[in-house]
Amino acid sequence: MATKKRNPPGQPIWAYAYQILPPQPAARLHAIEKLLDGAHRDAQRAARTWTGKVVLEERITHILIVSDSPEQNHEINQTLEAGRRDIDAGFSATVPLSVDGSAVPIRPPTD
């Protein structure tokens, strides 16, 4: 039986979301879901926490990310942002927040 790898005690887990407008049908997001699955497998091999899930709603499509890092400049983030160009939709990202509320959110730089 496989054991789950967990973050060391005290290491925060972060969550953030990408938002896609207009909402997209599931069939158009197949390539993005494959990217999320691959990034999750890569994180597991590296003993990291990282997972992503597409959440379809009537008014917006979300890609929810849960990670052991608040950074949004990893290769997967850049790949996701490039993938959204393929579906020709508006795209924004939320600020990462600590899941348990113990860590201070990192604010993106302002221009």
- Could you tell me the residue ranges of all domains in the chain? 14-98
Q: What is the pLDDT of residue 3?
A: 46
14-98 maps to CATH 3.50.50.60: no
d(CA 104, CA 52) in angstroms, rounded, equals: 22
DSSP state of 59: S
Residue whose token pair is 């917006």: 60
* Strand locations in the chain (E): 14-21, 50-56, 61-67, 90-93, 97-98
Percent of the chain scoring above 70 in pLDDT: 81
3 state DSSP class of 40: helix
pLDDT, tens only, 62-83 = 999 999 999 988 888 888 888 7
